[in-house]
Amino acid sequence: MLRADALEAIYPELRDRVVVTIMGAVAAELYTLGHRPTFFYLEHAMGMASSMGLGIALALPEQQVVVLDGDGSLLMNLGTLSTLARYRPGNLLHIVFDNESLLSVGGFPTATSTGTDLAGVARACGVPRVEEANTPERLKQAVSEALASDTLTTIVSKVEAVGPKSFHMDLPLLENRFQFKRALEALRNQPTE
């Protein structure tokens, strides 16, 4: 499947949640669908989206946090899976788009192109719920189920190594940073029921 189609299928589930994306194609494709103040495009920190998502999920346990990751990014910080499993925040959903390449930085193949099984690694690290979803319909279903489960979940989705025609985003990175911070502060200050 195309990652753009996958994102379009799950966008309704993302709209009202805290979302952290990796750099490049994923960020540009999500931005094209419609930016929200609770979306953070983690540029220039490859591999760290899952770690940032974990910190936010632990700091804001009442909010559902979704991390949009990629195989190259996850492979750069593979230890994050054992850290996620250690803390097990039920409000964190970790989606990994596996295109078997470092598409945003030249298209070089990753280890998943020669057999590394990221879903298997997540299971072996102790992530309590791991799914594989390789069609937009299955991904949409897996995301809905994960968000309803209150269980730390990693979903791995194979996607084609095709990116957007343009990586243009007219939201300055610094503004995204401040906007996201203000949005998280507002969420933290919401009265709890």
Q: What is the pLDDT along the chain (193 residues), one digit of tens a residue?
A: 999 999 999 999 998 999 999 988 899 999 999 999 999 999 888 889 999 999 999 999 999 999 999 999 999 999 999 999 999 999 999 999 999 998 766 678 899 989 999 999 999 999 999 999 999 999 999 999 999 999 999 999 999 988 777 667 788 888 999 999 999 999 999 876 6
Question: d(Cα 118, Cα 75) in Å, to the nearest integer?
Answer: 9
Question: d(Cα 190, Cα 128) in Å, to the nearest integer?
Answer: 29
Structure tokens at 54: 């974990």
The domain 3-188 is placed in CATH, from the list 3.40.50.970, 3.40.50.620, 3.40.50.300, 3.30.465.10, at: 3.40.50.970
pTM recorded for the entire structure: 0.94
Both ends of the chain: CA-CA distance in Å?
A: 40
Which of 73, 79, 116, 98 lies closest to 156, judged by CA? Answer: 98
